[in-house]
Copies of this chain bind each other. A is one copy, B any other.
Amino acid sequence: MTRRRIASGKTRGKFYLRELKNDNTRNMARQLSIPKGTRDYAPDVMTKRNYIFDAIKEIFQRHGYMPLETPAMENLTTLLGKYGEEGDKLLYRILNSGDFLAAASNEELAGRNLLPLAGKICEKGLRYDLTVPLARFVVQHREELVFPFKRYQVQPVWRADRPQKGRYREFYQCDVDVVGSHSLLNEAELLQIIDEVYLRLGIRTRVLLNNRKILSGIADAIGCPGKLTEITTAIDKIDKIGREKVNAELVEKGVPATAVERLQPILLLEGNNDEKLERLQTTLRESPAGMKGIDETREILERARLAGVRAEIKLDLTLARGLSYYTGAIFEVKALDAEIGSITGGGRYDDLTGIFGMPGVPGVGISFGADRIFDVMTRLDLFPASSTTTTRFLFANFGEREARACLPLLRALREKGHNAELYPDADRLKKQLTYASRKAIPLVVILGEKELENGTVVVKDMNAGTQQEMPAGELENWNK
* Contact, CB under 8 Å: B9 / A362: yes
Tell which of B27, B71, B124, B196 touches A40, judged by Cβ atoms closer than 8 Å.
B71
Question: Cβ of A100 < 8 Å from any Cβ of B?
Answer: yes
In the complex, identify which listed stretch (A88-96, A379-387, A458-466, A471-479) lies at the interface while the others stay far away.
Answer: A88-96
Docked CA distance A41–B133 (Å)? 12
* Contact, CB under 8 Å: A62 / B32: no
Chain B residues with Cβ below 8 Å from A425 are 148, 181-183
> Considering only CB atoms, which chain B residue lies closest to A159 in the complex?
B97
Chain B residues with Cβ below 8 Å from A230 are none
CB distance from A159 to the nearest CB of B (A): 10
Known: A2-B299, A117-B101. A66 touches B39 (CB 8 A): no
* Contact, CB under 8 Å: B25 / A357: yes
Chain B residues with Cβ below 8 Å from A394 are 64
Chain B residues with Cβ below 8 Å from A313 are none
Interface residues of A (CB under 8 A from B): 1-2, 5-6, 8-9, 12-13, 16-17, 19-20, 23, 25-29, 32-35, 38-43, 46-47, 50, 61-64, 66-75, 78, 89-90, 92-95, 97, 99-101, 106, 109-110, 112, 114, 117-118, 121-124, 126, 136-137, 139-142, 146-148, 150-151, 156, 158, 160, 169-170, 178, 180-186, 188-189, 192, 196, 292, 295, 299, 303, 306-308, 356-362, 390-391, 394, 397, 403-404, 407-408, 410-411, 414, 417-425, 434-435, 438-439
> Considering only CB atoms, which chain B residue lies closest to A405 in the complex?
B306
* Contact, CB under 8 Å: B95 / A101: no
Tell which of B121, B196, B397 touches A95, judged by Cβ atoms closer than 8 Å.
B121
Tell which of B35, B126, B181 touches A9, judged by Cβ atoms closer than 8 Å.
B181
Chain B residues with Cβ below 8 Å from A114 are 99-101
Docked CA distance A99–B180 (Å)? 42
* Contact, CB under 8 Å: A72 / B9: no
* Contact, CB under 8 Å: A160 / B97: yes
* Contact, CB under 8 Å: A69 / B41: yes
Known: A140-B32, A295-B1, A307-B411. A390 touches B181 (CB 8 A): no
Docked CA distance A97–B89 (Å)? 8
* Contact, CB under 8 Å: B13 / A42: no
* Contact, CB under 8 Å: B424 / A148: yes
Tell which of B94, B117, B361, B438 touches A146, judged by Cβ atoms closer than 8 Å.
B438
Known: A12-B182, A182-B6. A69 touches B93 (CB 8 A): no
Residue contacts A-B, CB under 8 angstroms, 28 given: A2-B299, A5-B182, A5-B183, A6-B183, A12-B182, A13-B147, A20-B142, A33-B140, A34-B75, A34-B136, A35-B73, A35-B74, A35-B75, A35-B124, A40-B69, A40-B70, A64-B421, A66-B439, A72-B156, A73-B170, A90-B97, A92-B97, A101-B117, A106-B110, A109-B112, A186-B424, A306-B407, A308-B408
Known: A1-B295, A32-B356, A118-B95. A146 touches B435 (CB 8 A): yes
> Considering only CB atoms, which chain B residue lies closest to A27 in the complex?
B357
> Considering only CB atoms, which chain B residue lies closest to A12 in the complex?
B360
* Contact, CB under 8 Å: B68 / A9: no
Chain B residues with Cβ below 8 Å from A420 are 62-64
